[in-house]
Amino acid sequence: MRLIGSERFSRHQPPDGHPEQPARARVMADVSHRWVEAGGLLTPPRVATRDELTRLHSPSYVDRIEKTAGRQLQHDPDTYTSPDSYDVARLAAGAAIAAVEYTLAEGTAAVAFVRPPGHHAEADRAMGFCLFNNVAVAAASARAAGLDRVAVIDYDVHHGNGTQWMFYDDPTVLYVSLHQYPFYPGTGAVNDVGRSNGLGCTLNIPLQAGAGDADYDRAMRELVEPVVTAFDPELILLSAGYDAHIQDPLGGMELSTEGYTAMTAHVQRLAARCCGNRMAVVTEGGYDLSALESCLDSTLQQLAGRPAGMGSPLRGDTRRIDEVIPAVKRAHALYWPGVLS
């Protein structure tokens, strides 16, 4: 397994007190150093090229972000650029692309520790702390390399509106999101299933605030695993947001580090089953530093081992998922007959 990271990610500097703080990059660097000390591989990222960014982002939008270089600007109530943010955002997108390149070449998982996060960024809009959509750009890179089917699984507490809209009518990219709902950014309803040729290729699993390990585990077993297996991707990308952790100050979920590890293990098994272990993990949110550190450590340890068997379902209250599962099945009955039964 290969880790991609750099201390340069600390150079993106929103105002003091902003949740997406440079200290997150220092946590990533600390975890990376321990990984290397234990014998793991760490590779520096490269920057994404303009051609790679404009596969999905509009050229005029890339130009606008480039013109922020050297300045401190506010793009919406939550999203800022500092003098080095353009370069750092290109580095984050490039790291995600590099993770795809490594997993395709080596047949083992690759993990990119990046910031700023990306899944809220739309084709021509920065929002939700995000400048370029790292995972979406990486998925487009995989398609450009010749892959016919790519799955993106997103377990950030917030719905990845940018990723959804970029592939909403695309049958070659399956987007799966488990997120708190209703919540920022207001998208991700169960009936948002795709459009035109992409109908059925957006699987939204909106969860009530307070959902915990057992809720997410049931969603993975009963919804995510059957649909992803039937889609049969050649690559899985994981938008790894750790802000559904019970300690996170922005989310309202109750996932533990162990619950996150179990979800990562589900995705790892899917990658082993469907695509020869080709799996790229790209970080998204996660704003409690201690929870972020524990989740990053556990993700690396899980992916460094062999995929385990399914194991027993996690125990706990699942009332928050009880109504969601049949609603998702009804919404997708036409698109996944016999899969979600």
Task: Give yes or no: 120 in active site.
Answer: yes
- Cα-based angle 4, 8, 9 (whole degrees, multiple of 5): 75
Domain of 205 in residue numbering reads as 2-331
Mean residue pLDDT across the chain: 97
Amino acid in the structure at residue 202: T
Q: Is 66 exposed, middle or buried (0-12, 13-18, 19+ CB in 10 A)?
A: middle
pLDDT at res. 340: 93
Q: What is the DSSP string of 121-185?
A: -BTTB-BTTBSS-HHHHHHHHHHHTT-S-EEEEE-SSS--HHHHHHTTT-TTEEEEEEEESS-TT
Q: Strands of 41-43's sheet, edge to edge?
A: 41-43, 2-4, 110-112, 279-283, 235-240, 150-154, 173-180, 202-207
pLDDT confidence of residue 133: 99
H or E segment and range at residue 105 = helix 85-106
C-alpha to C-alpha distance for 90 and 69, rounded to whole angstroms: 12
- 340 found inside a domain: no
Centre a 10 Å sphere on the Cβ of residue 41 and count the other Cβ atoms it contains.
Answer: 14
Q: What is the DSSP letter of 222?
A: I
Would 341 be classed as within a structural domain?
A: no
Active-site entry in 12, 57, 120, 266: 120
Residue 339 lies in a domain: no
Is residue 242 very low, low, confident or very high in pLDDT (cuts 50, 70, 90)? very high
For residues 149-167, give the mean pLDDT.
Answer: 99
pTM of the complete model:
0.98
Is the model's pLDDT at 310 over the cut of 70? no
d(CA 141, CA 146): 9
Examine residue 25 and state whether it is found in any structural domain, yes or no: yes
194 within a domain of the structure (yes/no): yes
For the chain, the domain total comes to 1
Output DSSP code: residue 40: -
Q: Among 175, 208, 181, 213, which residue's Cα sits nearest to residue 194?
A: 175
- Residue 137's CATH number: 3.40.800.20
CB atoms under 10 Å from CB of 15, counted, come to: 10
Identify whether 336 is part of a domain.
no
pLDDT value at residue 308:
65
181-227: pLDDT as tens digits: 999 999 999 999 999 999 999 999 999 999 999 999 999 999 999 99
Whether 242 and 251 have beta carbons less than 8 Å apart is answered as no
Q: Judge whether 266 and 224 are in contact, CB under 8 Å.
A: yes
* Region for 192 from its dihedrals, namely left if φ exceeds 0, alpha if ψ lies in -120 to 50, beta otherwise: beta
Tokens 């003091």 appear where? 16
Q: What is the identity of the amino acid at 162?
A: G
**pLDDT by residue (tens digit) across 11-63?**
999 999 999 999 999 999 999 999 999 999 999 999 999 999 999 999 999 99
Q: Per the domain annotation, does 337 fall within a domain?
A: no
Q: Give Cα separations from 204 to 18, 61, 133, 179, 336 (angstroms).
A: 28, 27, 18, 8, 14
